[in-house]
Amino acid sequence: MSGTERSHFELHGEEPTCSTGGVWLSCIACGEQFPPFETVRYVCDDCDGLLEVRYADLPTWNDFEGRGVWRYDAALPFESGVSLPEGATPLHDVPRLKSSIGVGRLRVKHEGMNPTGSFKDRGMTVGVRVAEQMGVERLACASTGNTSAALSAYGSRAGLETLVLLPQGKVAAGKIAQASCHGARILEVDGNFDTCLDIVGDLADRGDVYLLNSLNPFRLEGQKTIGLEILEQFRDEEGSYPDRIVLPVGNAGNTAALYKCFRELVASGALESSDVPKLTGVQAEGAAPMVEAIEENRAETRRWESVETSATAIRIGNPVNAPKALPGIRETGGTAAAVADEEIQAAQQELAREGVGVEPASAASIAGLRTLREEGVVTEDEEVVCLTTGHLLKDPDAAVEAGTEPETVPGTTPGVRDHLGLE
């Protein structure tokens, strides 16, 4: 680990004069600081580096009260926002999976239980609040589906116009249904997710729209609350903090958000650096630029022009938050793994048999944990939380494919009994 990488873990710097109410933006590459709400910016004016939100005061556990994302307002730029409400998701026990994988403890944080069925709601409640602050009228995102569902719901609720760009033919049915019913204008782009993001990024640069992809640093503030909730729930129910958090990776926004959560808790004294969970990212083999960068020990990802996986939510070849997420994986002692679509489907079935219904991308976390356990990277005594990011019903076609075949029977009781082989 080099000296510069280690210093990344610490949050340093005095409150600059450009801060508003103790909040400012800081470039992760060159350290330049910017006022948070004066003008819209997504990257550094000087070097195009990613921005992160900084605070003059960082909270500890006693500063939190209430339920859901806004329980953590002391760690957020505002005290409230358009809320449906989101967060406070279950931390499931999965005893059969725990023994079949073979770890000390295994809990599943099911983010599919958010209002629109994915963790994106946590980011949107904060992102849309910021949009209101900036006085913008039109919100937009590129999406593999779930961001569009969340933006459509939260944007409409706030009375704002919403525009979503989706890769044509590559978005699960439930997600399009949501975006459309909640009122977004949907543009189906002839290209993949990364193309959609390029285009919406151009529109945002021209001031045509306010961008609510995870490039927007405020969205990650909302998603940071996943980490706060996991640590509190696990500590209260298991008596310790988890050793490892395993999560699916697309644009690596969540990986970046969890890392920021840990850094802030360590800086405020709420968490010992030795208690920081190992961040472990999982991608599908057909879309694994983060895994490649970790394996080849590179500071940046290489853009994969062509990506393919049935886990459409993580079908991404150019993870925009990689410069924030790669140090997070490395500094916490975590790693990254790639899994085959068949392994994802098997994990989706296993979770579903324990009553936890998740979409394919979410099941990648379980599939990745199994792989890493088999390789001996994860040890048998580890206490692990797997993040499942979206609900089973998001992708009904995948669910039907992973499930049992319906059997055709006659419309009579004797006919049904006969079919079942009952005497």
Q: How many CA atoms lie within 13 Å of 269's alpha carbon, on the beta-carbon side? A: 3
| Residue with smaller CB distance to ligand PLP, 162 or 214 | 214
Under rule CB under 6 A, residue 214 binds ligand PLP: yes
Under rule CB under 5 A, residue 30 binds Zn ion: yes
Q: How many binding residues for ligand PLP (CB under 6 A)?
A: 18
Under rule CB under 6 A, residue 127 binds ligand PLP: no
Residue 44 binds which entry of Zn ion, ligand PLP, none, CB below 5-8 Å type-dependent: Zn ion
Among 89, 192, 254, 280, binds ligand PLP (CB under 6 A): 254
Residue 411's contacts (CB-CB under 8 Å, 6 or more residues apart) are none
Separation CA 151–CA 134 (nearest Å)? 17
What residues between 40 and 79 interact with Zn ion by CB under 5 A? 44, 46-47, 49
Under rule CB under 5 A, residue 29 binds Zn ion: yes
Span interacting with ligand PLP, options 131-139, 163-171, 247-255, 339-347, rule CB under 6 A: 247-255
Under rule CB under 5 A, residue 400 binds Zn ion: no
Under rule CB under 6 A, residue 117 binds ligand PLP: no
Binding mask 174-203 for ligand PLP (x = CB under 6 A): ------------------------------
Alpha helix positions (H), 190-340? 193-205, 217-238, 253-268, 289-295, 322-331
DSSP for 130-190, please give it: HHHHHT--EEEEE-SSHHHHHHHHHHHHTT-EEEEEEETT-S-HHHHHHHHHTT-EEEEES
Under rule CB under 6 A, residue 115 binds ligand PLP: no
Best CA proximity match to 27, nearest among 57, 47, 3: 47
Among 156, 268, 318, 362, binds ligand PLP (CB under 6 A): 362
Separation CA 302–CA 345 (nearest Å)? 27
Conformational region of residue 383, where left means phi above 0, alpha means psi within -120 to 50, and beta covers everything else: beta
Distances in Å between the Cα of 349 and the Cα atoms of 97, 275, 342, 371 are 11, 32, 11, 16
Q: How many other C-beta atoms are found inside a 10 Å radius of the C-beta of residue 237?
A: 11
Structure-token pair, residue 170: 């590559």
Under rule CB under 6 A, residue 312 binds ligand PLP: no
Under rule CB under 5 A, residue 27 binds Zn ion: yes
Contact 86, 113 (CB under 8 A): no
Peptide bond into 85 cis (omega under 30): yes
Under rule CB under 6 A, residue 249 binds ligand PLP: yes
Among 127, 328, 357, 390, binds ligand PLP (CB under 6 A): 390
Among 36, 49, 222, 250, binds ligand PLP (CB under 6 A): 250
Under rule CB under 6 A, residue 252 binds ligand PLP: yes
Under rule CB under 6 A, residue 253 binds ligand PLP: yes
Residue 27 binds which entry of ligand PLP, Zn ion, none, CB below 5-8 Å type-dependent: Zn ion
| Residue with smaller CB distance to ligand PLP, 250 or 289 | 250
What does the binding site for ligand PLP look like in residue numbers (CB under 6 A)?
Answer: 118, 120, 146, 214, 248-254, 313-314, 359, 361-362, 389-390
Q: Which residues bind Zn ion (CB under 5 A)?
A: 27, 29-30, 32, 44, 46-47, 49
